[in-house]
Amino acid sequence: MEYGDKTFKDEKLFLYQGFGPANSNVANRLLLPELEGAINQRDADILFMWKRYEKLNGGSEEKQRVLREIKETVVHRKHLDSSIDFIGKLVFGFENGPSMIEAARSSGQPLVDDWDCLKRTVRVFESQCGSLTQYGMKHMRAFANICNNGISGAEMREASISACGGYDSAKWSPLAVGHSA
Number of domains in the chain: 1
pLDDT tens readout for residues 27-84:
444 444 555 578 888 888 899 999 999 998 888 899 999 999 999 999 999 999 999 9
Q: 39: which DSSP letter?
A: -
Buried-state track 157-176, b at ≥16 Cβ within 10 A, e below 16: bbbbeebbeeeebeebebee
Q: Does residue 145 fall inside a structural domain? A: yes
Q: How far apart are CA 10 and CA 33, in angstroms?
A: 19
Question: For residue 26, is pLDDT > 70?
Answer: no
Q: Does residue 61 fall inside a structural domain? A: no
Give 33 or 152, the one with higher predicted confidence: 152
Question: For residue 112, is pLDDT > 80?
Answer: yes
Q: Which domain, by its residues, includes 135?
A: 74-177
Q: Does residue 52 fall inside a structural domain? A: no
Q: Do 116 and 106 meet the contact criterion of CB atoms below 8 Å apart? A: no
Q: How far apart are CA 151 and CA 147, in angstroms?
A: 6
Q: Model confidence at 93, in pLDDT bands (50, 70, 90)?
A: very high
Q: How far apart are CA 125 and CA 91, in angstroms?
A: 13
Q: Does residue 108 fall inside a structural domain? A: yes
Q: Does residue 63 fall inside a structural domain? A: no
Give the chain's mean pLDDT: 81
Q: Does residue 164 fall inside a structural domain? A: yes
CATH of the domain at 124: 1.10.132.130
Q: Does residue 7 fall inside a structural domain? A: no
Average the pLDDT over 153-158 and give the result: 95
Q: Does residue 170 fall inside a structural domain? A: yes
